[in-house]
Amino acid sequence: MERLVDVAPGVRLWAEDLPATGSDPAPEPVLLVMGANASGLTWPDELVARLAERHRVIRYDHRDTGRSTWAFDERPYAIAELARDAVAVLDAFDVPRAHVVGMSLGGVLVQLMLLDAPGRVATATVFCTAALGGYGSPDLPPPSAELLALWEHMADPRDVDAELDWRVAHWRLLSGTGTPFDADGFRALERRVIAHAGRHDNTAAHARAAQDGLDRGDELAAVEVPVLVVEAPEDPINPPPHSGHLARALGRGRLVRIPGMGHAITGTVVAPLAAAILTQTTGAHAPQR
């Protein structure tokens, strides 16, 4: 079921509620929170299908992505407001509490949910992300220079074909070299994303959004919700020191590693990523030490 969710005056988010396909008569919901400037359709269908075997799955488009409202220049917002949007999506579907999964910026938003709305989060799984305030540490590296150079052209005007070429080049860098890169597959994904949005430009709104209120890393130790941090060793944005730092900072954090994974959900990591998420959401992992 698809619907539009009002989250602020003049701001609506596209959201999709996918029923569970398994035999559980009362499947628990999972909320998927995607990364910066990325539509909810970026979640691979195969991963969504695997999660739906055990859960009701909800995904959505952030502001200024997909079919949600694009109006950053008229109504700018802070990154922290996107975390409140995630809670509003749960409200819209009458979900009091969900397992929440966040990738990249989505992982930052999940951390804000853990601090500001912990009662709404049954468990959390985050990957390809950094701890709140983490970039202030000299021990935690910034994104790769090659990626930073590409980001300088994120919002450049391009026709559709040139935009697709840029996005595939972006995914190639994000994926790293630990798994085979399927350029045709990512091009097909981005064609779907563009068709879904009805536009091909990238306003880079999330890169321009204010970062007030994100320096809250010291508060993570008090989090009581179980959190799984998935380490992606080939991640060029948040390489392995970040995942370990986040897991140690959390009150109930644990760390698992998916060999070869970069800052992308490539075909070869769908199965181990789904297994890790389901192990967390079903409580099938070993007890906390």
- pLDDT tens across 261-279, in order? 999 999 999 999 999 999 9
Q: Please tell me the distance from the alpha carbon of residue 95 to that of residue 122, in angstroms, as a whole number.
A: 11
pLDDT at 2: 96
pLDDT at 257: 98
Cβ 39 vs Cβ 61: under 8 Å: yes
Mean local confidence (pLDDT), 145-164: 97
Mean local confidence (pLDDT), 17-37: 94
pLDDT of 288 strictly over 80: no
Q: Please tell me the distance from the alpha carbon of residue 201 to that of residue 194, in angstroms, as a whole number.
A: 9
Q: Is residue 286 part of a domain?
A: no
Range of the domain at 61: 2-281
Percent over 90 (pLDDT), the chain: 93
pLDDT at 134: 79
Which residues, including other chains, have CB under 8 Å from residue 264's CB and lie 6 or more apart? 171, 174, 175, 176, 186
pLDDT at 191: 98
Q: Is residue 287 part of a domain?
A: no
Confidence of residue 25 (pLDDT cuts 50, 70, 90): confident
Characterize the bridge pairing of strands 253-257 and 98-103. Answer: unpaired
Longest dimension (CA), the chain: 53
Mean local confidence (pLDDT), 111-128: 98
Count CB-CB contacts under 10 A for residue 136. Answer: 9
3 state DSSP class of 101 = strand
Mean local confidence (pLDDT), 226-231: 98
Q: Is residue 289 part of a domain?
A: no
Percent over 70 (pLDDT), the chain: 97
Mean local confidence (pLDDT), 143-147: 96
Degrees to nearest 5, angle at CA 106 with 105 and 109: 90
Catalytic residues: 104, 235, 263
Average pLDDT of the chain is 95
Structure tokens belonging to residue 257: 């590693």
Structure tokens belonging to residue 205: 């709104």
Mean local confidence (pLDDT), 153-167: 97
Which residues are registered as beta bridge partners of 255? 229
In tens, the pLDDT along 189-228 reads: 999 999 999 999 999 999 999 999 999 999 999 999 999 9
In tens, the pLDDT along 46-57 reads: 999 999 999 999
pLDDT at 55: 98
Distances (CA, A) of 135 to 146, 204, 207: 18, 20, 15
Indicate the number of domains in the chain. Answer: 1
pLDDT at 285: 56
Which residues, including other chains, have CB under 8 Å from residue 247's CB and lie 6 or more apart? 227, 229, 253, 254, 255
pLDDT at 33: 98
pLDDT at 286: 46
Confidence of residue 137 (pLDDT cuts 50, 70, 90): confident
pLDDT at 136: 65
pLDDT at 237: 97
Mean local confidence (pLDDT), 84-103: 98
pLDDT of 1 strictly over 80: yes
CATH for 94: 3.40.50.1820
Q: Is residue 288 part of a domain?
A: no
Q: Is residue 143 part of a domain?
A: yes
For 198-215, b where at least 16 C-beta lie within 10 A, e where not — what string? eebebbbbbeebeeeebe
Amino acid residing at 276: A
